[in-house]
Amino acid sequence: MSYRHSMICQTEGIRPTAPVKWRGLDGMMSVFWDAEGLSGAKAYYLSPDPRIVIFFNDVSSHISMSNREGGFAQFHRPMVRAIYVPAGVPLWTNFTSSHRFSHLDLHLHKDRLLRILSPSVGASVAQTALRRPVEIQDVAAIETLAMLLVNEMSNPSRHAIFAESLVGSIVTGLLDIPESNSDTHNGRLTDGKMKKLISRINERSDCRLSVAEMAETVGLSESWFANVFRQTTGKTPLQWQLGKRIELAQKMFLESDLTVADIAAQLGFSDQAHLTKAFRQIAGETPAAWRRIRRKN
């Protein structure tokens, strides 16, 4: 996609020490700076798009940052080697001493990031990751990827897809993507997660959990859980849960003399008619007929 980033950038006491290098990519803009900040220099940044900043030297003892205006007295923290700033999150920086530094700025369109992440982790998990700020001091492999990208920006020698893939690797290496998706296999819940969910359902006297509670049990977002659950069972979470409630109702019909109305109340159905309708849909018979036939046998 054609992309031009737009960011409010107000600086004081900061100047480039070499020509800025930049390269526009598909839904991305890469900018490399060599710069110097004087003691007391400050800056304010606000972007409608997510962005990543990677420093090629340790600036933690020279630059402080805060996400609150006027927050340096109480809420400041040292600038780290790499940060991910979600869209719409403001950032103030302040130089505690003069310092020269080099850093790579990556301005990224949200839709482009979703195209990178969603095929592997799902749209819901990807969107959640895009909302989480990240700050790390140990950049390790990310710095290597960033240097490769800067070299390609300075002396383009390959198709743009090479630079774009480097950006994609930086994104996936830096963003806080929940590890819970490792608990799915080929888009399905693992046996361990299904057993955990069944155990949680069985702990409830009425076998009732909301979809959000079911998703929390297995450590997934609600929408991602609903998707992989259907891939696993062929049913929606609520269809599956209703089946479990009817199984419990059948057990109660066989092992007790409770009325249909009593069992409906215990299992959280609105009334006897509600249980009867759900029971017939799943078991193919009314509760009274089902109980009569099985007790005769």
- Please give the pLDDT value at position 181: 45
pLDDT along the chain (297 residues), means of 10: 80 95 93 96 95 95 87 77 94 94 96 90 83 90 95 91 95 79 60 87 86 84 81 90 92 91 91 93 91 81
Q: How many domains does the chain have?
A: 2
Handedness of CA 55, 58, 59, 65 (dihedral sign): positive
261 occurs within a structural domain: yes
- In this structure, the strands spanning 8-16 and 184-185 are unpaired
Which residues are within 8 A (CB) of 17 and not within 5 positions of it... i.e. 6 or more apart?
34, 35, 36, 100
**Residue 285 within any structural domain of the chain:** yes
Q: Which of 146, 177, 208 is the last residue of a domain?
A: 177
Q: Do 60 and 169 lie in a common domain?
A: yes
Asked if 191 and 269 sit in the same domain, the reply is yes
Considering the domain boundaries, does residue 1 fall inside one? no
Structure tokens at 185: 């296999």
The per-residue pLDDT for 18 is 95
Do residues 225 and 237 make contact, with C-beta atoms less than 8 angstroms apart? yes
Question: Which token pair is 159?
Answer: 């198709």
- Do 108 and 230 belong to one domain? no
Whole-angstrom Cα distance, residue 111 to residue 115? 6
Same domain? 264 vs 242: yes
Residues 133, 275 share a domain? no
Cα dihedral 98→102→103→104 (10° resolution): 150
* Inside any domain, residue 137: yes
Residues 142 and 13 in one domain: yes
Tokens of 187: 């888009």
What does the pLDDT read at residue 203? 86
The pLDDT of residue 31: 95
Could you tell me which residues come within 8 angstroms of residue 230 by beta carbon, excluding any fewer than 6 positions away? 236
Final residue of a structural domain among 125, 145, 177: 177
pLDDT value for 88: 93
Please indicate, yes or no, if residue 2 is contained in any of the structural domains: no
Question: Do 105 and 17 belong together in one domain?
Answer: yes
- Between the alpha carbon of residue 2 and those of residues 25, 26, 124, the distances in Å are 8, 6, 25
Domain extent at residue 196: 182-296
199 with 134, same domain?
no
Q: Supply the CATH number for residue 138's domain.
A: 2.60.120.10
Q: How many CB atoms lie within 10 A of CB 19?
A: 9
Going through 128-198 in order, the beta strands assigned E by DSSP cover 134-136, 184-185, 188-189
Tell me, what's the pLDDT at 46?
A: 95
CATH code at position 219: 1.10.10.60
Same domain, 168 and 83: yes
29 and 110 share one domain: yes
Same domain, 60 and 143: yes
Give the residue from 129, 109, 105 showing the smallest Cα distance to 117.
Answer: 129
- Shared domain for 205 and 134, answered yes or no, is no
pLDDT at 73: 63
